[in-house]
Structure 1
Amino acid sequence: MVSLEKLKQLRLIHLCIALTFFTSGVCINLIQLLMHLVIKPFNKRLFRKLMYYACYSLYSQLVFVADWYAGSKMSVYMDEDDYKKYAGKEHVLLIMNHKYEIDWLNGWMICDKLNVLGNCKAYAKKPIRYVPIIGWGWWLAEFVFLNRNFDQDKTIITEQLKVVFSYPDPTWLLLNAEGTRFTPAKHEASVKFAQERGMPVLKHHLIPRTKGFTASLAPIRGLCPVIYDINLAYRPTDTTPSTMLSLLNGKSVEPHMLMRRIPLEQVPEDEKEAAKWLQDLFVEKDRIIDSFLETGSFFKTSGVKEVPVYVKKPRLSSLLNFFAWAIFSMSLIFSYLINSLLAANWTAFITSLSILGLFYWLMGQAIKKTQISKASNYGSAATAKASTK
Structure 2
Amino acid sequence: MVSLEKLKQLRLIHLCIAITFFTSGVCINLVQLLLHITVKPINERLFRKLMYYLCYSLYSQIVFVADWWAGCRMRVYMDEEDRRTYAGNEHVLLLMNHKYEIDWLTGWMICDKLGVLGNCKAYAKKPIRYVPIIGWGWWLAEFVFLNRNFDKDKEIIAKQLKVVYSYPDPTWLLLNAEGTRFTQSKHEASVKFAEERGMTPLKHHLIPRSKGFTASLATLRGICPVIYDINLAFKPTEKTPSTMLSLLNGKGVEPYMLMRRIPLEQVPEDETEAAAWLQKLFVEKDRIIDSFLETGSFFEKSGVKETPSELLKPRLSSLINFACWVFVSLSSIFYYLITSLLAANWTAFITASSVLGLFYWLMGQAINKTQISKGSSYGATSKSFASTSPPASTK
State the TM-score, normalizing by the size of structure 1.
Answer: 0.99
Are the counterparts in 1 of residues 211 and 387 from structure 2 also a CA contact under 8 Å?
A: no
Structure 1 gap segments, 5+ residues each: none
* Whole-angstrom distance in 2 between the partners of 1:65 and 1:74: 14
Residue in structure 2 matched with residue 341 of structure 1 by the alignment: 341
Residue in structure 2 matched with residue 358 of structure 1 by the alignment: 358
Residue in structure 1 matched with residue 110 of structure 2 by the alignment: 110
Percent identical pairs in the alignment equals 81
Aligned length: 389
The one-letter amino acid of 1:17's match is I
The one-letter amino acid of 2:202's match is L
Shift of 1:388: 1.3
- 1:305 matched to 2:332: no
* Whole-angstrom distance in 1 between the partners of 2:355 and 2:168: 39
Q: For residue 127 of structure 1, give the secondary structure of its aligned residue in structure 2.
A: helix
Are the counterparts in 2 of residues 379 and 387 from structure 1 also a CA contact under 8 Å?
A: no
Q: For residue 42 of structure 1, give the secondary structure of its aligned residue in structure 2.
A: coil
Trace 1:220-259 onto structure 2 (pairs within 5 A): 220-259=220-259
Residue in structure 2 matched with residue 141 of structure 1 by the alignment: 141
* Whole-angstrom distance in 2 between the partners of 1:217 and 1:95: 13
Residue in structure 1 matched with residue 169 of structure 2 by the alignment: 169
The one-letter amino acid of 2:82's match is D
Runs of 4+ in 1 over 4 A off after TM superposition: none
Residue in structure 2 matched with residue 52 of structure 1 by the alignment: 52
The one-letter amino acid of 2:27's match is C
Shift of 1:384: 2.6
* Whole-angstrom distance in 2 between the partners of 1:339 and 1:139: 36
CA deviation profile, 1:298-329 (whole Å, cap 9, x unmatched): 00000000000011211110000001001000
CA deviation profile, 1:208-237 (whole Å, cap 9, x unmatched): 000000001010101100000000000000
CA deviation profile, 1:319-359 (whole Å, cap 9, x unmatched): 00001001000011000100110001111111111111111
Are the counterparts in 2 of residues 207 and 387 from structure 1 also a CA contact under 8 Å?
A: no
Residue in structure 1 matched with residue 377 of structure 2 by the alignment: 377
* Whole-angstrom distance in 1 between the partners of 2:380 and 2:318: 38
Shift of 1:382: 7.0
Residue in structure 2 matched with residue 126 of structure 1 by the alignment: 126
* Whole-angstrom distance in 1 between the partners of 2:345 and 2:260: 60
Q: For residue 260 of structure 2, give the secondary structure of its aligned residue in structure 1.
A: strand
* Whole-angstrom distance in 2 between the partners of 1:48 and 1:385: 36
* Whole-angstrom distance in 2 between the partners of 1:177 and 1:84: 27
Trace 1:62-211 onto structure 2 (pairs within 5 A): 62-211=62-211
Are the counterparts in 1 of residues 190 and 382 from structure 2 also a CA contact under 8 Å?
A: no
* Whole-angstrom distance in 2 between the partners of 1:385 and 1:106: 27
* Whole-angstrom distance in 1 between the partners of 2:223 and 2:238: 40
Residue in structure 1 matched with residue 26 of structure 2 by the alignment: 26
Are the counterparts in 2 of residues 190 and 384 from structure 1 also a CA contact under 8 Å?
A: no
CA deviation profile, 1:78-120 (whole Å, cap 9, x unmatched): 0000000000000000000000000000000000000000000
Q: Which moved more, 1:349-358 or 1:27-36?
A: 349-358
* Whole-angstrom distance in 2 between the partners of 1:340 and 1:103: 42
The one-letter amino acid of 2:21's match is F
Are the counterparts in 2 of residues 80 and 308 from structure 1 also a CA contact under 8 Å?
A: yes
CA deviation profile, 1:91-150 (whole Å, cap 9, x unmatched): 000000000000000000000000000000000000000111000000000000000000
In structure 2, do the counterparts of structure 1 residues 383 and 350 end up closer, same or farther at CA, with 3 Å as the change threshold?
farther
Q: For residue 153 of structure 1, give the secondary structure of its aligned residue in structure 2.
A: helix
* Whole-angstrom distance in 2 between the partners of 1:162 and 1:381: 34
The one-letter amino acid of 1:317's match is S
Q: For residue 311 of structure 1, give the secondary structure of its aligned residue in structure 2.
A: strand
* Whole-angstrom distance in 1 between the partners of 2:306 and 2:356: 50
* Whole-angstrom distance in 2 between the partners of 1:302 and 1:387: 28
State the TM-score, normalizing by the size of structure 2.
Answer: 0.98
Are the counterparts in 1 of residues 204 and 286 from structure 2 also a CA contact under 8 Å?
A: yes
* Whole-angstrom distance in 2 between the partners of 1:383 and 1:368: 27
